[in-house]
Amino acid sequence: MTAALAIDLGGTKVEAALIGADGTILPGTRGRAPMGETGAANPDAAAASIAAALRTAIDSPHWADVAAAGIGSAGPLNLPLGAISPINLVGLRDFPVVDVVRRVTGLDDVRLRLDGTCIALAELWLGAARGVRNAMVFVVSTGVGGGIISDGRVIAGATGNAGHLGQVIVDRVEGSAAAATVEELSS
């Protein structure tokens, strides 16, 4: 059986699990660690949180079946560098998350995508967008993000940041002094 390591890196936590070929979470492989203020401000603390979240999966008997890892992260992303600069994790500018995961896991095949893109892919594969040709998926968590499905395909864009809907600028709302992003307005 082939499995993949799935990693969700958000503003407040890191979560990871092994996923089977049918999309199910393999039992006993799910790990979680807080990102917290320290991780948000300090790359070494962030790397330690990632390693802690991955530990359960790595220690699982299913680990021998892992072929690759996928990271879904808040953006923006720098795909050529395998790095992230999440708006809500201000201390992690150009944080080399792909290198961190490679170092912790020993895996060569580690892919990075915007969290909203990952959610859109999951919805297209197994969820509410299954069989749908066009859709937009919104992520509302610590921040606001999204993913785009067009003509049955998930659109990531040249930089991997297509669908980063939380940073779309909205014209001045009545009663406000200036324009704001969707994320700022929803906070």
Give per-residue pLDDT as tens, 126-182. 999 999 999 999 888 878 889 999 999 999 998 899 988 887 888 766 766 677 788
3-113 matches 116-186 in fold: yes
**pLDDT at 39 exceeding the cut of 70:** no
Architecture of the domain made up of 116-186: 2-Layer Sandwich (3.30)
Where are the domains positioned within the chain?
A: 3-113, 116-186
3-state secondary structure of 56: helix
Which residue(s) pair with 149 in the sheet? 135, 154
Which residue(s) pair with 84 in the sheet? 77, 95
In our burial notation (b when 16+ CB lie closer than 10 A, e otherwise), range 3-16 reads bbbbbbbbeebbbb
- For residues 66 and 118, give the distance between their C-alpha atoms in angstroms, rounded to a whole number: 19
In the CATH hierarchy, which top-level class contains the domain 3-113? alpha beta
Pairing of β 180-181 and β 169-170: antiparallel
Kindly compute the dihedral angle of the four CA atoms of residues 98, 102, 104, 105, in this order, to the nearest 10 degrees: 130
- This prediction has a pTM of 0.91
